[in-house]
Structure formats: C-alpha cells, structure tokens
Structure 1
Amino acid sequence: MAVELQQRIRWLALHGVIRGLSKVGARRSGDPQARLISDPDVRADPAAFADELRERGPIIRCRAVLLTFDHQVAHELLRSDDFRVSSLGAGLPKPLRWINDKTHPGLLHPIEPPSLLSIEPPDHTRCRKLVSSVFTPRAVAALRDRVQQTADQLLDDLEAEYRGDGSAVVDIVERYCSQLPVAVISDILGVPERDRQHILHFGELGAPGLDIGLSWRQYMQVHEGLVGFNDWLGGHLQRLRRNPGDDLMSQLIQASEDSAEGARLSERELQATAGLVLAAGFETTVNLLGNGIRMLLDTPGHLEALSARPELWPTAVEEILRLDSPVQMSARFARRDVEVAGTAIKRGELVIIHLAGANRDPKVFDDPHRFDIERDNAGKHLSFSGGRHFCLGAALARAEGEVGLRTFFERYPDARLAGAGSRRDTRVLRGWSTLPITLGTARAALGS
C-alpha cells in the first residue's frame, strides 16, 4: 500500500497536475502546449497542428514553454551550446519537482540521467566516446548482412505458415516490423533468443514513458515496463560479464573496464547506456517500418517505381523518416539569456522542438506534405536529432528501414491493407500498434 501511495503521489506531481491543467488550458484558451499534451486531434494529425500554428512565427510562446516548428530554428537549437537537453520532470514547478525527486523509485529511465539523452559534456562526451569506440561505422555496416538474413527468415516463416494463401491477413507490426529490429538489436547486445519477446513486451509497456501528462493507467503500465526491464537488464549484464561473447555489448563492457579510471562507465552509466541502445534500437525502427509499409501501400505508384528502380530505396526511407517522423519531439533548456530568431529566451526556459513540424517546413521542403521518393533534399530531415545528441543508431536504422521494406515488398508485391489499423497511444513516438494486411502471393526470395 505504501509503495502504491508513493507512486500515486509521484504520478500526480509528474503527470496528474499537468494533465488536468492541460485539459483546462486547451479548452479555455487553446494554449498550444496544452493542446499538444491533451488534444487527441493533435495526436491523430500532428501535421495539421503544425500548419495551423506555423504562421505565428518561428518561435511560439505558450503559457509555460516555447514551441517551434521552424526547421532553421530547430537545427540551430539542437546544435547550440546555449541550450542543454531536458530530462523527465525537469520542467516542473519547484514544488512538483521536489515531490518527484522524493518519490523517485530509483529505476533507470531513457530520459533521466545518466542516459545519454539527458546528460551534457563532460559526462556526455566521456560516455559517448566509449560507446562510439565499439559502435563504429564498420561494426554497423557489418550488421547489414544480419538485417538481410533476419528479414528473409521472418518472411520465410510467414510464407511457410500460410503456404501460399494469398488471402491470408496478418498484423504486419506484430509479425514483422517489431520482430526484425528486436532480433538485430538483440544480436548487438547479446540477448538470447528466449529473452527477446520479454524485451518487446517491456518496450511496448514503456513506450508512453517519453510523454508528459500520462493517465494513471498509462503511468502504471510504464512503471511495470521499467521495473521488468531494469530487473532483466541488471541480470543480463552480469551474465555477459561471466560469459562474454563477440557481441558489441560484451565489447563495451570490456572497453569500459579497460579504460583509464576517469574514462570508465560506472555500473549505472553502463546499465543506462545498454538500456537506451536496446530500447531506442528497436522502438523507433518498429515505427519506421510500420509507417513505411502503410505509406507505400497507400501509394502503389511508388511501389511500382521502387520495383523498377531499386536504387531509389535509400531516398524513399529518408522521405518516410521526414514525412512521418518516428520521434516527433525533443526539448532544450536555455543555459543563459539568449535571442533566437528575434525571440528573447531567458535562462531556464524550455523550448519544445517539434521535429515532425520542422520536417514539413515549406521554407525547406517544396510541397512538404507530398510523399516524394525522389525528393532531392529528403535527407535534411531532423528525425535523428542533431549536434552532439545526433542518434548513434542512425546508420543502423537506415539500413533496417531500407533492407526491411525492400525485402518485404519484393517478397509480397501484391500486399494490400486489410483494415484501418491503430496508432500507438503516444505523442513523442509515432507509429502503428496494429496494421492488418493481406499478404497476397509470395514471390521466391531473391537468390534462392
């Protein structure tokens, strides 16, 4: 009972009060931040929300924060030394922040220190340097063959199960989009096959944890996922210490232990890094694959073009990342009084960077709402953030997107939607939780 009461108090401080105030603010004044938190229409169509507000200027002052949909401003903020990353609860009023700190359960969270997403130099430099020494471009490039093998095997399994039944309907998120990245990232981190469904389950529970203003039910769902993941992760790292493999996580553990005293990762830093790589390594890629399959099924002309000109796949993936960003938002605190795009920002003020809106800025992208797999500047999107916090796994995500989508549509070129599907009930992350499709007749795997 005491534990539940503590969690109830923490939920009120971290989410409940803001949730209630946001509903009132959205209804009475139309405050953009309040709508971003509480309006289901904004969650359903973030592009329309961005278009509606874009004309107010490059930076919009809301009741408690600032907000930008401007590509140039977003690009500058992500790289500026005048701003620092945020962390869960850091923007709360002092009384609520105090309650949050006092009721913290001690669990690792992807947007709390010592996660790379929530720390700055010198700690960020030290941790990222060590991780980068293991997750090298060569190491990531070597994983491309593994991505291809995994995609082929998953589709072989589907084909064997349905035995050429062209009318078979499957939830492609459950059967393919989630299975591909979790298998690849598990190989990277030395996760045994028996544990991979647990990882998927913890990830699904924890996905809303990047949002603010959660309901009590969502909060407890996230808490359950964090408890399960933290318990599993501690045991997993101990197993790798006892029996290291040739996976990159075993190499990271060894590299940390071999480093000079000041360069090592603490045990908590190591766990936070492993947890972030694992969660970010499949959560966002599940969204990329699901969003891509849905967008391409909606545009059969693009599928015909990609079949005739497979060299277009890399640009198609960049355009999918731009147009339906798996990560919709980021945030930065001002370190000092500063002026950006003619707006005075005071030290300590929080700026919400709407990455998805910046990715549709008409000043940068012609006809920004059009899905164009030949767009020459599609790669200018900000879906992987920027600056010192640019996504470590960007190259792997691109490879998984390109290989995963191309391989699926080469095997099932006649696939079509079999229902509306359902979006994830999250705001920072955007993707499909279910996507039913009719597979159609399978073609033989290339090279078989």
Structure 2
Amino acid sequence: MRTWLWWAASYGLPRALILRQAHRKDPLALFLLESERGADTDRYIEELREQGPLVRRKRLSVTVDHRLSTAILRHKRFSAIVPPRDARSKPVQWLLRKTELGLPNPVEPPAMVRVDPPDHARYRKLVTKPFNHRAIGKLRDQIIAETDGLLDALAVSPNADLMESFCAQLPVAVIGAILGAPKEMHPRLLRWGVGGAPLLDLCPSWRAFRGAADGLREGAQYFDGHINRLRKAPQDNVLSQLIVDGGLTHRELLTNTALLLGAGFETTVNLLGNGIMLLHKHPDQLELLRADPELWPGAIEEILRHDSPVQVTARMALEDLTVEGHDIAKGTVIMLLLGGANHDPTVFPDPYRFDIRRANAREHLSFGNGIHTCLGANLARIEGAIALRSLYDRFSDIKIDTTPPRRATVNLHGYRELPATLVA
C-alpha cells in the first residue's frame, strides 16, 4: 500500500490527467500513451510541430523544435529538477513525505540528471575524472574482446534474438566493468536495468512502476554492500575511483549507480538494436558501409538522430524568461521531445530519410545538450561503431525473421526483441 500511495502521488495523478487529455485527442498525451504500447508515434510529433515551436499547456508545455530545445537545454535559468516537490500541492507533498520509499530513484535528486548547479558541477567534475583517456582506452579494448566473443557464439548458433544475445550483452559487460561487478552479476544487472526503464518515463503505470521499484530495492541492496566492499578493497574501475575520491556520499553513489543501470547501458542497447533494424530496412546504406568502412562514425550519428534511443527530457523555468522569441513564465515546465527535434526539417532536410552520409547528423539531441549532455556519449559512440561494424564484417547477411515489437516505454526507445538468422 505504501508503494502504491507513493506512486499515486508522484505518477498516478499526472497519469490521470494525461488519460483525460488523450480522450480529448491531445497529441502529446497520445504520444505518451502510444509509446507505452510500442506503437509508432511520428504522427503525433508532426501534429505538435504544426502547432508551432512552443505548444503551450496549463500544466505542461511541449516543443519538438530543434532550435528552441537546444536553447532551453543550454540556458542556465532552466532547472533539471522537474517537478520540484515544493511546487506540488500541500496534500501531495504531505503524502510524499509520509510514504517515502527510501529508494535510490534514478530520476530524483541526487541523481546527476536531476540536480542543478552548484551540485551538478561538483558531480560532473568528480564523475568525469575517472573517464580519462586511459580508462576509455581500457574499455575500448574490452569492447573489442567482448564483441569478438559474442560474435563467435553467434557463429555457432546463427538463429538468435539479437537483442538478447548481442545488443544487451555488450553494454552490460561494459557497465559491469565500470561498476566493478563480476561477470556472474551481469544477468542481474541486465534485469535491473530493463526493469528500471519505466522510471525514466513521465508517468509510468502502476504495474510498470511496481516492477521497477522491486528491481530498485534488489539492486540497492546489492550495491549497498558492493560499495562498502570496494571502499575496503578498491579495484581498478570507475566506481572504485569515485569511492576513493570521497567526493560523493553513500546515497549519491547509490543513486547515480541506479542511474547508470537505468539509462547508461540501456541507451547503448537501443542504439545497437535500432541500428540493426535501420540497416535491415535500408540495405543500400549497408552497402555503402561495406564499400567504405570509414563511414561508420557518421552512420552511428545518423542512427542516433533517426531513431533516438532517448526520446524525452524536461526543464522548468526558474524565472520569467524570453527564449528564441518565446516568453516563458517562471515555473513553466517544458517537455522536450528530443526524437521530434531530431526530425526538425529546418535543421535536417527530408528528416525521415535515413542517410548515413548526412553532413550534420551529429547535431542531433539524442545525448541532450548543455551541462547535462550525457557523460557516456563518446563511450556509447565507440561501442556502437565497434559492435555494428564487427557484426556486419563477420556476417554477410542478417535476416530479421519477423516484424519485431517495440519496447513498451516512452523515453528509452528500442526493440523488445530482434529474432534473426545470421549468414556467415
């Protein structure tokens, strides 16, 4: 009951409003609910685009405009703490206090994506330090080795679900190395990451939230002990260095570990899966890559732009502002549909065309922008380029056996499975 009451106060009330708006055919509400069903939502993005750069609502405004989204993400007077608890009604604040779950929620402070300066600058400095040139080089070597091992296994059993056997296995091995989790823990890391994905949505259903919360409890219990073990006997990994540096409290370490599991490696999982499907649908683009492997970095950027693994973020105005000619009142919450901004025709001509040679593909907002730009963006790019290039170098053909279903989440955008037959 306690968990349900907390969900009701945090997500249930906003969800009820969205359901009501969907009944009125509001495109934002339909985008959110249809995304949960794994349906195509491009039509709702384009309906919003037709309404202008900033679509104003009483409680939640929205933009799919690339220029406005970029300006908001870079603006210093927008907060990433959305919505702050003190902005909610007094009864809701009381209920949240009474039912506090005590879990390291990856979308609440002190998670890095939900803190503002000066705390954010402190976190960013501490977390950036372990991702130095040496650490990235070591991870690159591991990515190559893990990829080769996964491809060897696929060569033996060429009928496989590529999401399960390839796209998920490589990123979880990398995140396991970052966190110092032994290989036998990888299946559990994967389960916690997949289960926690709905927490990154605006208003997950009770069923989705309950499953995510159960996984969060289990993961928090493990990492509570793991962090204490690393504190006593540090290893050569990113989490150990953060512990040794001593700049983050135990709670901050736990919460940002949950964030890495919920968003860090899941982004790369979907980058790989989305890339395989795009190349399956556009064999002419795959032929270009086979003829000129130097095109792979640009292909990764176009995959990120065309089918963004992360679809949504939000910001709140800390004062009355004018941004790109739009007056925005203090307290206004704006949802930024990053996938929509990545299809803005004023920035990306013919935006729904997949073109690995698109000159400005890297201008996508799939990793955000400004101070909250994804810390692992370059690592994800490296994983994507190595994994996909190696996959298509090893196999002459990859046949997707059926129309694969999308994941039933709003923010983390990808496929639930990719049943395939691989031809050497």
Q: Which residue of 1 aligns with 2:29?
A: 34
Does residue 130 (structure 1) correspond to residue 126 (structure 2)? The answer is yes
Moved more, 341-350 or 388-397: 341-350
Query: Percent identity, aligned pairs only?
Result: 45
- Rounded to whole Å, the distance in 1 between the matches of 2:62 and 2:94 is 25
Taking the TM superposition and a 5 Å limit, the aligned residue runs for 1:257-296 are 264-296=247-279
Residue 24 of structure 1 aligns to which amino acid in structure 2? R
- Rounded to whole Å, the distance in 2 between the matches of 1:301 and 1:197 is 36
Q: Measured at CA, do residues 430 and 337 of structure 1 come closer, stay the same or move farther in structure 2, by a change above 3 Å?
A: same
Deviation at 1:157, TM superposition (A): 1.6
Indicate which of 2, 5, 17 corresponds to 1:9.
5
Residue 197 of structure 1 aligns to which amino acid in structure 2? P
- Rounded to whole Å, the distance in 2 between the matches of 1:158 and 1:311 is 25
- Rounded to whole Å, the distance in 2 between the matches of 1:92 and 1:417 is 47
- Rounded to whole Å, the distance in 2 between the matches of 1:318 and 1:230 is 34
Contact kept in structure 2, 1:69 and 1:358, CA below 8 Å: yes
Q: Measured at CA, do residues 231 and 406 of structure 1 come closer, stay the same or move farther in structure 2, by a change above 3 Å?
A: same
Deviation at 1:295, TM superposition (A): 0.7
Deviation at 1:94, TM superposition (A): 4.5
Q: Measured at CA, do residues 377 and 420 of structure 1 come closer, stay the same or move farther in structure 2, by a change above 3 Å?
A: same
Deviation at 1:298, TM superposition (A): 1.1
Does residue 79 (structure 1) correspond to residue 74 (structure 2)? The answer is yes
Deviation at 1:402, TM superposition (A): 0.5
Residue 407 of structure 2 aligns to which amino acid in structure 1? R
Aligned residues: 423
Deviation at 1:289, TM superposition (A): 0.4
Moved more, 40-49 or 134-143: 40-49
Contact kept in structure 2, 1:325 and 1:356, CA below 8 Å: yes
Contact kept in structure 2, 1:181 and 1:286, CA below 8 Å: yes
Taking the TM superposition and a 5 Å limit, the aligned residue runs for 1:149-160 are 149-160=145-156
Q: Measured at CA, do residues 110 and 88 of structure 1 come closer, stay the same or move farther in structure 2, by a change above 3 Å?
A: farther
TM-score norm. by structure 1 comes to: 0.90
Does residue 187 (structure 1) correspond to residue 183 (structure 2)? The answer is no
Indicate which of 287, 302, 305 corresponds to 1:322.
305
- Give unmatched runs, 5+ long, in structure 1: 163-167, 257-263, 443-448
Taking the TM superposition and a 5 Å limit, the aligned residue runs for 1:62-101 are 62-87=57-82, 90=85, 92-101=88-97
Residue 331 of structure 1 aligns to which amino acid in structure 2? A
Q: Deviations over 1:154-174 (max 9, x none)?
A: 1112223x2xxxxx4211000
Q: Measured at CA, do residues 42 and 423 of structure 1 come closer, stay the same or move farther in structure 2, by a change above 3 Å?
A: closer
Deviation at 1:21, TM superposition (A): 2.6
Moved more, 8-17 or 175-184: 8-17
Does residue 53 (structure 1) correspond to residue 48 (structure 2)? The answer is yes
State the Cα RMSD in Å.
1.8
- Rounded to whole Å, the distance in 1 between the matches of 2:175 and 2:348 is 33
- Rounded to whole Å, the distance in 2 between the matches of 1:388 and 1:106 is 28
Q: Which residue of 2 aligns with 1:259?
A: none
Deviation at 1:24, TM superposition (A): 2.0
Residue 105 of structure 1 aligns to which amino acid in structure 2? L
Q: Which residue of 2 aligns with 1:418?
A: 401
- Rounded to whole Å, the distance in 2 between the matches of 1:364 and 1:412 is 35
Q: Measured at CA, do residues 186 and 42 of structure 1 come closer, stay the same or move farther in structure 2, by a change above 3 Å?
A: closer
Partner SS for 1:433: coil
- Rounded to whole Å, the distance in 2 between the matches of 1:383 and 1:76 is 15
Partner SS for 2:218: helix
- Rounded to whole Å, the distance in 1 between the matches of 2:61 and 2:9 is 21
Taking the TM superposition and a 5 Å limit, the aligned residue runs for 1:238-387 are 238-256=228-246, 264-387=247-370
